[in-house]
Structure 1
Amino acid sequence: MPERQRADARRNYTRILAVAEEEVAAHGADASLEQIARTAGVGSATVRRHFPTRRALLEAVSRQRIEALCARAHELTGKGGGRDALLEWLDDLVTYSVSARGLAAALAYDGSVYENSCSAALEEAAGPLVRRAAQDGALAADVTFADLVTLVVGIVFATEHYPDPTVQAHRLFRLAVAGLSPQS
């Protein structure tokens, strides 16, 4: 939110964001923009002026969780083995993405040229974890950060309607990491 906005515009932004956080928590990424506007006591055009796309709204709603994930990546950088640090961070990403409705949608690639600030911030913070795991030989050299986020987003979307999506998402993530072959 630009600081040079008028006071009423800043208040509207804050009110819209608070309502959007509640609506996304209740209804996920498909939360109604019109309902958000009504509950915030503003018009739909005001919501769209502050958040020109649904993704922009989801990114704003997810900002605190993204910051926490970035801090966690910094904390894990240089600790333990490259594989363990990366897997611990990815496990946190799965946990956050399942528990914070709308976060997976904010991270998902939508085929547009729109800059995804959530993914960009995470890539900057977790990039060293990915590079270190690759340097340690624990991650194939051609696996990118975007590949890993896409895997997590896919798992979260695939499990969101399970009775216990957290358990199922972590099970599928462990399966993806271990592979399909029986361990010997």
Structure 2
Amino acid sequence: MDGKDACGAKAVDEKGLMDGFVRMFNRIYENWDAFIKTMTANIEMIILQRPDSREAEVLDKRIEGLKNELKRLIRFQVNNNVDPEVYNEEYKSISGELEEVRKKRLEIDKDIESKDGLKQRFDEILEAINSRDSLLEEFDEEIINALVEKIEILTPAHFVFELKSGMRVEEKE
């Protein structure tokens, strides 16, 4: 066989990939200060994009207000026997707005959770690298699992390691 897989793409030598990871890690380790500065700037930028807690509070208040409006509408209907068509139209309007506000609030929660997860992955990367007191001499599965989210293989000797922080690090032989 000519070094290609069944799809015609060149097969990646596992040793080459492992050696590429060791080189990439050692480059990061040797340039630790610059790496931390870049990662910290990225994390700070992401955290700055985090939704303002006041926005969540405003949405929470609006949700409560809409729920109270629905309760008042239902009580008014029960006590005053309002025309069903008018009642249904008003009920649909209020409950539709309530649903939209709840969706916006859920998006904020998801955004916060996502950014908190990224911060946690950043901390795990720092911990993994700080646990080392020297360059890697050989492939370390624990460290690759702690640092790397995925690997993009451009050629058998050209990889892009996407770190769990979202940072992409290119490595060529």
Normalised TM-score (structure 1): 0.26
TM, length-normalised to structure 2:
0.27
State the structure with more CA Rg: 2
More strand by share: 2
